[in-house]
Amino acid sequence: MNDDDKDSGKDSGNDILKIGGEDYRSRLIVGSARYPNHQVLLEALRASGTELVTVALRRVNLDDPTGENMLSLLRRENFRLLPNTAGCYTVRDAVLTAELAREALGTDLIKLEIIADEDTLYPDAEKLLEAARILVDKGFRVMPYSIDDPITCKRLEDIGCVAVMPLGSPIGSGMGVLNPYNLRLIRDKVTLPLIVDAGIGTASDVAIAMEAGCDAVLVDTAIAKAREPVLMAEAMRAACEAGRKAFRAGRIPRKQFAEASSPTEGVVRSDID
């Protein structure tokens, strides 16, 4: 594979998102947890325009004789699946979960999560790096959920991950992107797709992440627990598209003082004789 074919967070001009050798038109990744029922889930996913949906293997009933489990519904709608290792606290459990997901779902794309503690649900950076090395060596295309630290994200890139997924704020908090500056630092250091994962609360949070140079945003609770999940999914889609366009267009520099937008030449002055 030559350099032109590698996945990159840099703007390629055609604005197709590449992750792990696959192309995506949508830059919104959506989770499948916490929805009131499967019908609302499907309607929200359709409204979001997403192509990639995260699933936790422990919540998927592969033996449901009715054929109407969540997995079969998602496949029927032609969504691509991103299994995750949610709920894992050790390297061993995360690697085992990833291997089970690959066998059950037929994909080596994995969202790697290793949680450090129950209070913050923050990622354990040390264990994350170790597990990422193991999974990359086993042929997985790893998308790690990490802290918003440019050094950790760069190390994950060097290991061979196909994307980096720093948090915006704690999982399910709805606090939004607490440190856009860190995202810009990561953007400068990492050439991989940069995806904000966790903490999104509303559409403006998505726009902020995209305007900071992120390539995509993963949203779950903010849609699933909204008063009207389908309407919120539409809002998230619009915000993702608007934020991406704003980033590509380039914002004007911030200035301390005002600058008139209209020319001052020829302005009538009553104080001049």
DSSP bridge partners of 145: 165
Compute the distance between CA of residue 254 and CA of residue 211 in angstroms, rounded to an integer: 14
> How many C-alpha atoms does 201 have within 13 Å on its Cβ side?
8
Please confirm, yes or no, whether 111 is among the known catalytic residues.
yes
Which helix (H) or strand (E) segment is 197 a member of?
strand 195-197
Compute the distance between CA of residue 177 and CA of residue 201 in angstroms, rounded to an integer: 9
Q: Which of 6, 111, 127, 225 is flagged as catalytic? A: 111
Strands 52-56 and 80-84: parallel
Q: Which amino acid is at 57?
A: L
Structure tokens at 152: 């950790």
Active-site residue list: 111
